[in-house]
Structure 1
Amino acid sequence: MKKRVTLVAPFYNESGNVLEFFQRVRQIADTMPQYEFEVVAVNDGSRDATWSELLQAQALHSGVHLVDLSRNFGKEAALTAGLDRATGDAVVPIDSDLQHPPELLPDMLAHWEKGAEVVLARRVDRQGDGLLQKLSAVSFYHFHNKISQVKVPLNVGDFRLMDRRVVDALRQLPENHRFMKGLFAWVGFRTVTIPYQPNERVAGVSSFNLWKLWNLALEGITSFSTVPLKIWSYVGLVVSLLALVYASVIVVKTLVFGIDTPGYASLMASVMFIGGVQLIGIGVLGEYVGRIYHEVKRRPVYLVREEHTTGSAAGVAEDRVERA
């Protein structure tokens, strides 16, 4: 039997990219007849014509599994929905805007056949990103890897090939707040890295902005490190020592020079400084408590509104979703 390769592609307002995406994937699949290709396309609550174009693509191409989520749950949830339904011996998360080139699949599969269980695709440059986005990305990776035991590879996104056993391991992780880059790194397995040059988007604009990237960074930091909580213990100790030193200076000055009229400005500066430190510490604590609050409710990561499965993968997909 042929080995099956599943591509997991989240779609969010990607009208204009859909048919081109499936055409490019089909062209690559036709050059590798030794594999059976399947595409799990997850519509993450798109508000444009993405879903209708996905239905059209399914009518034109075989081995297409469509999942329509009930609303926009975010890329991490859409990716999870796709991985839950992936039936392949090898699974490749890939962006639907074609910035992840499908032409890299033969190289990925060649490394997989040689024994690699994870094949990472590392961006060789970030020419398409603005200066602020480049700096923020590099800063996040360095900061995250400094404070976390789980190291996220620099310039490596979701684009990668994973062996079946890696996907099965990922599906055992129960958390609702899912920082997929961190989860990919956490499970480990034998890994190789290959470089690639990202393509330009075929149509549309990216839905990511600085606010979403900031929230994703917070998710990554709080999901894999408690260092921010520990830091505030040391900050509190330092502030307390400074306050003790300042109080000692005031006592000595009073004993030596007598009672001095207190200064309103210095008093207000001290109160505001200590109050600000306390509020920041409470805010950091609140980020962790908020994530605990969401986790203990045990809501599902996503909800499916509609699903269409065609081809021989249907029975396997239904069986794996039921066992999940």
Structure 2
Amino acid sequence: MSTQLAARPPLAAAPGPAPAPIRPAEARPVLSVVVPAYNEQEVLPSFHARLAPVMEAIGLPWEVVYVNDGSRDRTLTIMEGLKAADPRVALVNLSRNFGKEIALTAGLDHAAATDAVIVIDADLQDPPEVIPDLVAAWRQGFDVAYARRRAREGETWLKKATAKAFYRVMQKVGGKVELPADTGDFRLISRRALDALLSLREQHRFMKGLFAWVGFPSTPVLYDRAPRAAGETKWNYWRLWNLSLEGITAFTVGPLKVATYLGLFTAIVAGIYGLQLIIRTILFGNPVAGYPSLMAVVLFLGGVQLMTLGIIGEYLGRVFNETKGRPLYIVERHAPSESPDQRQTTS
């Protein structure tokens, strides 16, 4: 079943206690920090210890929304401890692991901020100390302030090279959607940009592309990306490859056009080759040809056909998932943040 927030898209919720009602605007935080996490028990306490003083120094009411994406370690327990110690902590526990893109969407759905939301990972590769620079850009009138990586410490040359190649491909095939280079999810988005973003409820979510698709005035904020503070990365090369496929197929039909042109090129080459065989047969007869050349042609054409069917299948699978109309996620538990005044009133 689903619940409806005021002027917000519906949230997917599991049977059980209903989410807490949204507080009046005057009691809501101005800024929300959304932090999706999966198996981040080693780094979460350090992350919150660095985030809290940074947000306090900004001088605006704030909250942090931790989203537990079906972690198998003590991540949820640590989040519960942080909430017990700090009333500004909100907790969203998903019923299972849905993936980072969905977990991030769940956090944005439950962000109570009236003015702006900040998205950041918990691994401390994106330093919380950069947030004041994002807020400063927002105060200058920009709806989106995205953190652009000036340096990527702790990453291999292969990962840097593949990331650079991916951004180049997206800029070439993305059409009117311009994906900023060297930019992840770390950013600040205004409330009106967030409301536009939350109206997009597609199943296959490539958040970097969705952030760019909604538009609004944007500006980069340069920063140096640090190595992971603790724990292990969840993004191996296989998952990064699948994410890149999500991004390409979600924002362009370029692969389908490539398949069409490749089929046309193969047909032209096959026609020329067939014409050449006819002319040779008329002029010189038809000696028995060798099997290696025949097998090479058969395997080449079979490979082209299978690749084309695979590309069509990727798009067809996405259509299939969209038509089922399932909710993006199921919330096992939602504990909203509280202002210090509320905590004193209820205690």
Q: Same fold (TM over 0.5)?
A: yes
Matched, 1:145 2:171: yes
Q: 2 CA distance for matches of 1:271 and 1:102?
A: 57
Summarize the alignment of residues 194-205 of structure 1 with structure 2, pairs less than 5 Å apart: 194-205=221-232
Which residue of 192, 208, 233 corresponds with 1:165? 192
Displacement of 1:205: 1.2
2:101 and 2:200 map into 1 onto residues whose CA distance is 13
Matched, 1:183 2:210: yes
The one-letter amino acid of 1:117's match is D
SS of residue in 1 equivalent to 2:147:
strand
| TM-score in terms of structure 2 length | 0.87
Determine the C-alpha separation between the residues in 2 that align with 1:146 and 1:249: 37
Q: What is aligned with 2:30?
A: 4
Correspondence 1:210 to 2:237: yes
- Displacement of 1:310: 3.3
| Partner SS, residue 58 of structure 2 | coil
Q: Deviations over 1:253-303 (max 9, x none)?
A: 111112211221111111111111111111111111111111111111111
Picking from 54, 76, 82, the partner of 1:57 is 82
Counterparts of 1:257 and 1:16 in 2: how far apart (Å)? Answer: 76
Q: Using the TM superposition, give the Cα deviation of residue 25 of structure 1 relative to its aligned residue in structure 2, in angstroms.
A: 1.3
Q: What is the alpha-carbon distance in structure 1 between the residues aligned to residue 282 and residue 160 of structure 2?
A: 57
In 1, Cα distance between equivalents of 2:215 and 2:337: 32
**Aligned equivalents of 1:209 and 1:100: distance in 2?**
18
Q: Is the 8 A contact 1:18 1:57 kept in 2?
A: no
- Name the SS of the counterpart of 2:122 in structure 1: coil
Partner of 1:320: none
Match of 2:152 among 117, 120, 126: 126
Q: 1:46, CA displacement in angstroms?
A: 0.5
Q: Structure 1 regions of 5+ residues with no counterpart? A: 316-324
Deviations, residues 74-128 of structure 1 (Å, cap 9, x unaligned) = 1000000000011211100101111111111211111111101100100101232
Runs of 4+ off more than 4 Å: none
Counterpart code for 2:334: E
User: How many aligned residue pairs are there?
Assistant: 313
Identify the residue that residue 321 of structure 1 maps to in structure 2. none
Q: How many angstroms apart in 2 are the aligned matches of 1:245 and 1:200?
A: 55
CA deviation after TM superposition for structure 1 residue 312, in Å: 4.5
* Structure 1 residue aligned with 2:112: 87
Correspondence 1:220 to 2:247? yes
- Deviation for aligned residue 1:3: 6.3
Counterpart amino acid of residue 179 in structure 1: F
Q: 1:303 aligns with which of 317, 327, 330?
A: 330
Match status 1:262 vs 2:276:
no
Give the drift of 1:235.
1.0
Aligned-pair CA distance for 1:203: 1.7
Amino acid at match of 1:165: R
Q: What is the CA–CA distance in structure 1 between the aligned matches of 2:144 and 2:224, rounded to whole Å? A: 19
In 2, distance between residues paired with 1:109 and 1:127? 24
Q: Show the 5 A alignment for 1:104-115.
A: 104-115=130-141
5+ unaligned residues in a row in structure 2: which ranges?
1-25, 343-347
- Residues in 2 aligned to 1:309 and 1:111: alpha-carbon distance in whole angstroms: 28
Of 71, 92, 97, 2:96 maps to 71
> Which deviates more from structure 2 when the two are superposed, residues 208-217 or residues 108-117?
108-117
Q: Deviations over 1:200-247 (max 9, x none)?
A: 322211111001000000000000000110111111111111111111
Q: Which residue of 1 aligns with 2:65?
A: 40
Cα distance between partner residues in 1 of 2:29 and 2:97: 33
Question: Counterpart of 2:65 in structure 1: which amino acid?
Answer: V
Q: What does the per-residue CA deviation read over 1:16-58, in whole Å, with 9 as the maximum and x for residues that have no partner?
A: 212211111111122222x001001000010000100101011
Describe the SS at the equivalent of 2:77: helix
